[in-house]
Amino acid sequence: MSRGQPPSGARVSARREPFTIEVAGSSPVTRRQFLGRAAVAGGLVAAPCLVPGSALGRDGAVAPNERIVLGGIGIGGRGSGDLRWMMAEKDVQFVAVCDAKKAQREKVKQIVDERYGNTDCATYRDLREFLATREDIDAVLIATGDRWHALASVMAMRAGKDVYSEKPSCMTIAQGQAVVETANRYRRIYQTGTQRLSEAKFTFANELLRTGKLGEVHTVRAHIAPWDAAEMRHDWLPGEPEPPRDEVDWDQWLGPCPWRPYNAAYVRGGWRGHYDFHTSCIGEWGAHTFAQCHVAIGAAGTSPIAYEYVDNPTGDGMVTRFANGVKMILHRGDQWWHGSCGVRYEGTEGWVAIADGYAKPEVSSPALLDDFERVVREYVDRTGNAQSHVRNLFDCIKSRRPTVANPVVMHRSMTTVHAANICMWLKRDMKYDPVQEEFVDDPEANRLRSRAMRAPWTL
Amino acid sequence: MSESELIAVLESEAGPKEKADACRELAVVGTKEAVPALAALLGDEKLSHMARYGLETIPDPAVDDALRGALGKLEGRPLVGAIASIGVRRDAKAAAPLAKLLRHSDADVAGAAARALGRIATPEAVEAVKEALEKAPEELRPAVADGCLGAAEALLAHDKRPEAAALYQLVSQADLPKHFRVAAAHGALSARQPAANP
């Protein structure tokens, strides 16, 4: 499964253009303008012609032809939070949701319709129908649960959509490779839901490393979830009668995963802890914290080369090592933080720690916090990365620049998750070659880099 | 369990859960010895996927022979799955039978064949997807184009730039949604770049 080098060459970088129609004898008009004029000409709009101010961009509203048209796939609890966050942006219009569960489709429709004061949000059960028929949708929010994130992203990008995929964004190293390959092939903008890469206090911690304020960084620590284990379940819950397909499309809910009898607990969130559906306690928070650590130490495009097995159920205390000499240690408990998704960076001249709930990072010396606002502001000026993960996505959809949590960032940090999991499952130390993307002298581990997908849900 | 014990489960009257679990373990420990028992399940509607789950990662050409040999016997989802696994394994010998499946009446089968040929990307596979793109009905054209783009990337990775450029040209001229033209344009630029220094 060695990968060749991606093709070199200049990026095709162009500002996103609305679909234009050439009208003989006049300047090109946008699709939305054309439809508006046609409606007037066809007498579909009663005189006098009153056009809402929002259509003209008044009072801060963004004109429809400048809005990003958004759809959703598998929006549950976490996804609903993302949805509300996205709909708060003025240049976004959410128009449709696809979900295997009818109750969830209707719940999302209600959220969207209430936001916009209409009943326009469309609902779909069938993912392929949704992607094939909604050519108007520019981008999709994918929040299905680990098992579907990669394949849905690939399918959406093949259909010409940009993607925001919740994390953990892939179940295997091979799935991560497929997301990178597809995004590159179709020049799609993709963001994985590691939103702390767009939060000022985490950004500041990363900037401390980048600017050498901690000296030579030798150790980073990454929080893994304090629930579940690295070893996961292979049992089946007791089989129950499958609901009507329109209520719960069990076949589509399973998607690429091995078939098993239906049980309502799965679709209510009880899929966690099952090998077929979940990336373990390591993936649950490692999807976030490993991405933070990778980016902080300048290793966004690689993964650790060594993983030391620990004889406990969770991976707590596992030491991994990058080729640049930095150790990343996995921690489950609260000894290094007092919040969730913590990271800590240690150098020869100081340390910084940050987790959810902190007003600002904790540091070895108060002087390290000097100029907090200036440092963050300069980061934003230098990179163009807004300190809002969804704003960063939408800016990049318009500019076609890579997002802060782009496919490579996702794939390499998730490779670390998968390698750590494989280390725990096989109960031995591992060595990994991040250039060839394979375990060194370990055929058994290499066979766990991929899993055959269930037809017709294949890559 | 040992490999022979796992094979025995597959050949027994054990239920689907036990057999699925055996397939899962054989994905990690299976050898050529496990291929016949796994291949025998490729046509089983309930276990076809897990049979491939076990087969796909076994590093022995016997797997490719088994998957290729099953193509003429399968239909529906088992056939789509077998084609997908052939694509994952990049079995060059499957180019000819996959080319025939480009004309299958089941769009999922034809689409899977196109993508698998794109991954295989031998000269025979490349010719097959090129020809298919020129003739593909509208509903199949995106999948075939995706196969062409995959093949072009494989050609670029082996520094076969004129062949890749020809594929990108074909995709850019086909009646396809805009993002395919964007993909082809980017690929064509890459194909025109000089090869990187070793």
Measure B196 CA to nearest chain A CA, in Å. 8
Chain A residues whose beta carbon lies within 8 Å of the beta carbon of residue B88: 450, 452
Domain end, chosen from A148, A169, A195, is at: A195
Give yes or no: residues A78 and A94 share one domain.
yes
Chain segment A208-257, per-residue pLDDT in tens: 999 999 999 999 999 999 998 999 999 999 999 999 999 999 999 999 99
Angle at A76 between CA A126 and CA A229, to 5 degrees: 110
A239 in any annotated domain: no
Give yes or no: residues A76 and A33 share one domain.
no
Flag if B84 and A135 touch (Cβ within 8 Å).
no
Q: Which structural domain, as residue segments, surrounds residue A382?
A: 196-230+278-446
Best probe of the B interface among A19, A154, A158, by most B CBs < 10 A, is A158
Domain end, chosen from A195, A219, A253, is at: A195
d(CA A220, CA A325): 11
Instruction: Please tell me the predicted confidence (pLDDT) of residue A44.
Output: 36
A13 in any annotated domain: no
Flag if B80 and A258 touch (Cβ within 8 Å).
no
- Burial bucket for residue A31 (CB in 10 Å: 0-12, 13-18, 19+): middle
Chain segment A93-133, per-residue pLDDT in tens: 999 999 999 999 999 999 999 999 999 999 999 999 999 99
Instruction: Please tell me the predicted confidence (pLDDT) of residue A50.
Output: 54
Flag if A10 and B189 touch (Cβ within 8 Å).
yes
- Cβ atoms of residues A182 and A380 within 8 Å: no
| Residue B178 identity | K
A268 in any annotated domain: no
Chain A residues whose beta carbon lies within 8 Å of the beta carbon of residue B53: 258, 451-452
Output A55 or A242, whichever has higher pLDDT. Answer: A242
Cα distances from B75 to residues A313, A316, B12, B52, B105, in angstroms, run: 43, 47, 25, 15, 11
A262 in any annotated domain: no
Instruction: Please tell me the predicted confidence (pLDDT) of residue B198.
Output: 52
- Residue A21 confidence (pLDDT) above 70: no
Flag if A452 and B49 touch (Cβ within 8 Å).
yes
Give yes or no: residues A130 and A94 share one domain.
yes
d(CA B166, CA B87): 22
Instruction: Please tell me the predicted confidence (pLDDT) of residue A228.
Output: 87
Flag if B186 and A459 touch (Cβ within 8 Å).
no
Measure B5 CA to nearest chain A CA, in Å. 19
Domain end, chosen from A10, A35, A56, is at: A56
* Domains of chain B, each with CATH number or no CATH: 1-70 (no CATH), 93-198 (1.25.10.10)
d(CA B59, CA B75): 26
Give yes or no: residues A66 and A200 share one domain.
no
Give yes or no: residues A433 and A311 share one domain.
yes
CATH number of domain containing A79: 3.40.50.720
A235 in any annotated domain: no
Flag if B112 and A181 touch (Cβ within 8 Å).
no
Chain A residues whose beta carbon lies within 8 Å of the beta carbon of residue B177: 135, 160
Instruction: Please tell me the predicted confidence (pLDDT) of residue A165.
Output: 98
Give yes or no: residues A179 and A223 share one domain.
no
pLDDT band at residue B196, thresholds of 50, 70 and 90?
low
Instruction: Please tell me the predicted confidence (pLDDT) of residue A40.
Output: 37
Determine which of A4-18, A58-72, A112-126 has the lowest per-residue pLDDT on average.
Answer: A4-18
Chain segment A419-428, per-residue pLDDT in tens: 999 999 999 9
- Residues A400-418, mean pLDDT to the nearest whole number: 98
- Residue A48 confidence (pLDDT) above 70: no
A288 in any annotated domain: yes
- Residue A37 confidence (pLDDT) above 60: no
Using CB atoms, pick whichever of B46, B108, B149 lies closest to residue A259.
B46
Nearest residue in A to B181, CA atom: A186
Give yes or no: residues A296 and A434 share one domain.
yes
Nearest residue in B to A185, CA atom: B183
CATH number of domain containing A308: 3.30.360.10
A425 in any annotated domain: yes
Instruction: Please tell me the predicted confidence (pLDDT) of residue A13.
Output: 32
A335 in any annotated domain: yes
- Cβ atoms of residues A96 and A122 within 8 Å: yes
Give yes or no: residues A146 and A93 share one domain.
yes
Reference A166, options A389, A344, A453; nearest CA is A389
Give yes or no: residues A84 and A224 share one domain.
no
- Cβ atoms of residues A297 and A423 within 8 Å: no
Instruction: Please tell me the predicted confidence (pLDDT) of residue B140.
Output: 95
Cβ-proximal residues to A139 (8 Å cutoff; 6+ apart), any chain: A68, A69, A70, A71, A161, A162, A163, A164, A189, A393, A397
Flag if B112 and A458 touch (Cβ within 8 Å).
yes
Give yes or no: residues A67 and A42 share one domain.
no
Give yes or no: residues A295 and A212 share one domain.
yes
- Residue A39 confidence (pLDDT) above 90: no
Flag if A12 and B186 touch (Cβ within 8 Å).
yes
Instruction: Please tell me the predicted confidence (pLDDT) of residue A16.
Output: 39
- Residue A38 confidence (pLDDT) above 80: no
Angle at A422 between CA A421 and CA A427, to 5 degrees: 100
- Residues B41-70, mean pLDDT to the nearest whole number: 97
Please tell me the total count of domains within chain A: 3
- ipTM score for this prediction: 0.97
Give yes or no: residues A308 and A409 share one domain.
yes
